[in-house]
Amino acid sequence: MRALEIQTPDGWLRGVAGDEVAHWRGVPFAAAPVGEFRWRAPQPVQPWQGFREADRFGPICAQPRSAGLGSGAQRRTPQSEDCLTLNITAPAEPSADSLPVMVFIHGGAFVNGAGSDPAYDGSQLVRRGQVVYVSLNYRLGALGWMHFDEYATAQRPIESNLGLRDQLAAMEWVQRNISLFGGDPNRVTVFGESAGAISITTLLSCPRAEGLFAGAIAQSSAPRVVPHLEQAHRWAREFLGYLVANPDDGDEVRALLEEVTPAELSLALSRLSAAGLRDEPSAIPVVPVVDGDLVPRLPVPAIADGEGIPVPLVIGTCDREGTLFSHFSPTHPSLKPTWKQMVTKAHSFVDQVGDPDDAEGDETPPATQLREIYPGYPKRGALADLAGDGAFWYPSVEVMEAHSCHAPTFAYRYDYAPRLMNMMGVNATHGGELLPVFGIYDNEIGRFMTALGGRGHYEGLTATMQDQWLHFAHHQRPMDDWPPYRLEDRCTMIFDRDPRVESDPRSDRRLAWQAVTGHLPTAD
């Protein structure tokens, strides 16, 4: 049995034994971001004396209470600004050799979620694939992703991209310490879903992240949501308008930032987001930004120009990303994108391209071509698919194209949905692949989804997807039946009842989106 008492440079940890695995939970990777460290980049861990009991998860980042897959904040879940901890799961029996490490970044629209959520229990991956699994917390909502750095002074430093800096600090901790838990710091795979995947495609364009991971897996990223700092500053001023009389008064703003409570920040973010639904439906005010420092450029063009980190990458989306939001739109206004927002964005996007009145020849105008690709537009199902493809699928295709020119890239699409989800019209939607990746079809959500059948298919898909993810962690490539994505064939693994490889799936949609985006102005 592995020794549960481990001495780190910061102090002793005492873990807990589980079913064939050992856990160390609530391990701090940075100082508490409170007091003078609030609104600051994560600071070094403050060492402790004696043993730190690592048998329970630390508090999650302050966030709205909600429910659902990966929601993080259940009714009794402790919350705190002192949330910068990570969790480690390793085989109970130590290996003679160092094991690959899988670091998971949770999703939740950058406003909710936690590495401790039961949906992200990595025990199955550890037992099945002999890896060391790490999950982490990072600052959420305004505390992590609202950018107040223009109010900084020499006496009161304030940094941007705090949530992204938290993720980097956690991975730097892994590099320094994971060998103590049997992990190999040279074989770290970072993977994440939704906001976690957006973080990963952003980190690929972040020079400071180089050397922190040997491979990456991005599940349902939306890489185009990252704005420039000027836009983020405008959102910050609008946000502050709900909290102070004069957002241009630096002294008043700095005093507020010292004292404002997480609940007050959450309420202001809700009001800002609600206003965005009316006035700026494509705006997502809590996201990573191009700050010219940590993130020098927009991720997609940076990767395309060879300025990304050239590690092997697995990237993909679910079959119908948008139906989750059309059927189960979150009630909290800051949990974007909501269905109303996605619909408005889809309409405005198509209208922005327009159909030229003087189109010549037989060429179909781009906006018309895009509408025709989604039969029934603008009915609900077609809009869900157009909005989901525009937010998640096509931008991920752009990353596939860009990254494959510089490093091994492997594309997938997740198509499986049990009978109940198909009857509801949700199908294989956003977050659906989390069930087989983590093998959580036995939890409350999994039992609900398989109420009318499908458990056997989930068991098969769990074995398939976990084996692929684990093989990638061990070898920085999937198994041999999954060819790399190249522009000449665009091979894509389709995860369904019977997994298969297709060449350039949905090429008609890809070409339609390519034509539309080619008619829009771009800025970097």
HEC secondary structure over 189-224: EEEEECHHHHHHHHHCCCHHHCCCCCEEEEECCCHH
What are the backbone dihedrals phi and psi of residue 28, each rounded to the nearest 5 degrees, phi first?
A: -70, 135
Strand partners, 317: 413
∠ CA 268-270-272 to the nearest 5 degrees? 70
Q: Look at the block and give the residue holding tokens 């339609």.
A: 512
Cis peptide before 94 (omega within 30 of 0): no
Whether the CB-CB separation of 220 and 430 falls below 8 Å is answered with: yes
What are the backbone dihedrals phi and psi of residue 8, each rounded to the nearest 5 degrees, phi first?
A: -100, 170
Q: Whats the size of the chain, residue-wise?
A: 524
Distance CA 195, CA 136 (A): 13
pLDDT per residue rounded down to tens, the chain (524 residues):
677 999 999 999 999 998 899 999 999 999 999 999 999 999 999 999 999 999 999 999 999 876 444 455 566 789 999 999 999 999 999 888 999 999 999 999 999 999 999 999 999 999 999 999 999 999 999 999 999 999 999 999 999 999 999 999 999 999 999 999 999 999 999 999 999 999 999 999 999 999 999 999 999 999 999 999 999 999 999 999 999 999 999 999 999 999 999 999 999 998 898 776 555 555 689 999 999 999 999 999 999 999 999 999 999 999 999 888 877 655 444 444 455 555 555 555 555 555 544 445 556 667 777 888 998 877 888 888 998 999 999 999 999 999 999 999 999 999 999 888 888 888 899 999 999 999 987 777 778 777 777 778 889 999 999 999 999 999 999 999 999 999 999 999 999 999 999 999 999 999 999 988 875 445 56
Helices (H), 354-438: 366-373, 380-388, 394-404, 419-423, 434-438
Strand partners, 220: none
Distance CA 393, CA 395 (A): 6
pLDDT at 13: 97
- The DSSP line for 312-354 is -EEEEEETTTTHHHHHS--SSTTSSPPHHHHHHHHHHHHHHH-
∠ CA 318-338-370 to the nearest 5 degrees? 60
Distance CA 363, CA 345 (A): 26
Whether the CB-CB separation of 194 and 220 falls below 8 Å is answered with: yes
Distance CA 272, CA 265 (A): 10
pLDDT at 344: 59
Tokens of 169: 């600090």
Establish whether 430 is a catalytic residue: yes
Closest C-alpha to 118, from 84, 83, 70: 70
By CB atoms closer than 10 A (0-12, 13-18, 19+), residue 487 is exposed
Q: Look at the block and give the residue holding tokens 């596939």.
A: 400
pLDDT at 345: 58
Q: Which CATH architecture has domain 53-77+96-154+163-205+226-296?
A: 3-Layer(aba) Sandwich (3.40)
321, 398, 401, 433: the catalytic one is 321
Contacts of 506 (CB under 8 A, 6+ apart): none
Closest C-alpha to 269, from 252, 284, 258: 284
Contacts of 502 (CB under 8 A, 6+ apart): 491, 492, 494
Whether the CB-CB separation of 300 and 398 falls below 8 Å is answered with: yes
Q: Look at the block and give the residue holding tokens 């590099």.
A: 175
How far, rounded to the nearest angstrom, does the alpha carbon of residue 419 sit from its chain's CA centroid?
A: 27
194, 266, 334, 396: the catalytic one is 194
Closest C-alpha to 285, from 226, 219, 205: 226
Q: Look at the block and give the residue holding tokens 């492997």.
A: 410
pLDDT at 117: 93
- Backbone torsion region of residue 134, taken as left when φ is above 0, otherwise alpha when ψ lies between -120 and 50, otherwise beta: beta
Domain spans, the chain: 53-77+96-154+163-205+226-296
pTM exceeds 0.85: yes
pLDDT at 339: 53
- Which secondary structure element, helix H or strand E, spans residue 256, and what is its range? helix 250-259
332, 403, 430, 457: the catalytic one is 430
Angle between helices 262-279 and 229-240 (to 10 degrees): 110
pLDDT at 335: 45
Strand partners, 135: 87, 104
Q: Look at the block and give the residue holding tokens 């206003």.
A: 275
Establish whether 193 is a catalytic residue: no
How do residues 405-463 score in pLDDT, each as one tens digit? 999 999 999 999 988 888 888 889 999 999 999 998 777 777 877 777 777 888 999 99
